[in-house]
Amino acid sequence: MELNNSKIKIKSKNLNVYYGNKQALHNINLEINNKEVTALIGPSGCGKSTFIRCINRMNDTIDICKVDGSIEIDGKEVNDKNVDVVTLREKIGMVFQKPNPFPKSIYDNIAYGPTIHGIGEKKDEMDKIVETSLKKAALWDEVKDRLNEPGTGLSGGQQQRLCIARALSVNPEVILMDEPCSALDPIATAKIEELIDDLKKSYTIVIVTHSMAQAVRVSQKTGFFHLGKIIEVDTTEKIFKNPANKMTQDYITGRFG
């Protein structure tokens, strides 16, 4: 057993995922540390997004998807029948490749989550949640005077931070990010990376990225996926300076295929 069990927030054991007859993940054993950033890298279709979608059971929404094996958060099985998926997703926020604000005001984008979870029923309580969430996402100063304008009117980078603020509004413990910067320019990317640095003090973050440089900049631990298998997991420094596995080395140095 692990000596510092309390450090581990998420743990997958022999996790297999199938889309119909096609197996997308093979026996994934991966530990994600608490209040750290874990980067998942690998070529397209290697299973990294499928893996993070197992953490908040997003794969439930796909009919032909079958998950077996175990994935635990704080030692509790996520796939257990008794787990309420809505509560689970309150605990695990998610941010996607393309910013996807609701076609509502900036304020309502943030208020939506707390409302459906029955938090912040009083106006001043909700105001506080909106302000705090936007501040945590480093967006408050840019939008505080136009909270009633549509979220879709913001720039791409601001929209992505709005989506992060929306995820933060329900006090999650884990934030999953699936290529959060791939649609953003370098300045907007830098702002998100700065935000990730700040957020990791309070949240456990798992980020899927195609940018090696980004993985090096933001993460402490990196996992390399290939053809649905996890090939190597180690400290980010080790992976990018001196990986143990040749396949990892070939991928990160651009020698693949």
Which residues of this protein are in contact with other proteins, per CB under 8 A?
A: 212-213, 216, 239-243, 248-250, 252-257
Determine the straight-line distance between the first and last CA of the chain, rounded to whole angstroms: 38
Query: Residue 111 is encoded by which pair of tokens?
Result: 């208020």
Which distant-in-sequence residues (6+ apart) come within 8 Å of 2 by Cβ?
8, 31
- The least distance separating other proteins from the CB of residue 30, rounded to whole angstroms, comes to 21
50 vs 222, which CB is nearer to other proteins? 222
- The least distance separating other proteins from the CB of residue 199, rounded to whole angstroms, comes to 25
Q: Is 84 strand, coil or helix?
A: coil
- The least distance separating other proteins from the CB of residue 212, rounded to whole angstroms, comes to 6
142 vs 250, which CB is nearer to other proteins? 250
91 vs 217, which CB is nearer to other proteins? 217
Residue with tokens 């054991």: 13
Residue with tokens 């295929």: 257
103 vs 257, which CB is nearer to other proteins? 257
Q: What H or E segment, with its residue span, contains residue 199? A: helix 186-199
Residue with tokens 């996807």: 100
- The least distance separating other proteins from the CB of residue 32, rounded to whole angstroms, comes to 23
Strands 37-41 and 221-226: parallel
87 vs 253, which CB is nearer to other proteins? 253
C-alpha 157: how far from its chain's center?
Answer: 17
- The least distance separating other proteins from the CB of residue 256, rounded to whole angstroms, comes to 6
- Which residues on neighbouring strands pair with residue 2, listed in sequence order? none
